[in-house]
Amino acid sequence: MREAFHDQLDQMFRDLAGICESVETAVRLATEALLSGDPAIAESVISADDDIDRARERVEDSAFLLLTLQQPVASDLRTVVAALRMVSELERMGDLSVHVAKIARLRVPNLAVPEPVRPIIERMAAVAEDMVHRVSSIITERDIEDALALAHADEEMDQLRRASFAELLSSDWEHGVEAAVDIALLGRYYERIADHAVSVANRVVFVVTGENPRAVGA
């Protein structure tokens, strides 16, 4: 009975890693739509979000079934509860990718990102995509070392967000209020994707060690 239970837990984590891979694709395609102004790519991100939502529901159903039928002991209960929180964060990352795609679609046939801030947005997108990619591996491998290291990538994201604000507040900004709002929102969306990635990684650390990395580092 316990072996079957742990097989179900492992399957739940494989499902979480699968959702993470879908989110990685969403981040990549949303960025492509943003930088190319391709409305078809933007629409593909928006429509694919339903698949992420359904995958989240399947993980939640599996978790609630385990809680109801198996009455897990403390360490296993920790794993199930963490999985429920992780899948919610992954879904939110998918939603944030949709927000990026919607900005891209809104500005067609123009581009939402003015040329002076394009390198910053490109780098923010690359960091976010890489962090999501790493989270998928962290979930699959229960890689505590990389989970703890992910915070360094988040620090770069914070620096990029500050750089984007510096551009918006510069006296040289000549792209108007609409573009400034777009850049401010895009910076927020990519930053939040990174924040959620760190949060998911921290939950993996908690599952494996029983310790909250944020509490330990405080």
Q: What would the pLDDT profile of 22-44 be if each residue is shown by its tens digit?
A: 999 999 999 999 999 999 999 99
- pTM (2 d.p.): 0.92
> CB of 153 within 8 A of CB of 168?
no
CA geometry: angle 39, 89, 28, nearest 5 deg: 30
> CB of 110 within 8 A of CB of 176?
no
Convert the pLDDT of each residue in 113-137 to its tens digit: 999 999 999 999 999 999 999 999 9
pLDDT band at 214 (very low <50, low <70, confident <90, very high): low
pLDDT band at 2 (very low <50, low <70, confident <90, very high): low
Decide if domain 2-213 falls under CATH 3.90.650.10. no
Domain extents in the chain:
2-213
> CB of 208 within 8 A of CB of 144?
yes
> CB of 15 within 8 A of CB of 59?
yes
Phi, psi of 208 (to 5 degrees): -80, -40
What is the average per-residue pLDDT within 146-152?
91
pLDDT band at 4 (very low <50, low <70, confident <90, very high): confident
Mean model confidence pLDDT for the chain: 91
> What is the distance between the alpha carbons of residues 209 and 217, in angstroms, rounded to a whole number?
14
pLDDT of 108 reads 95
> CB of 111 within 8 A of CB of 177?
no
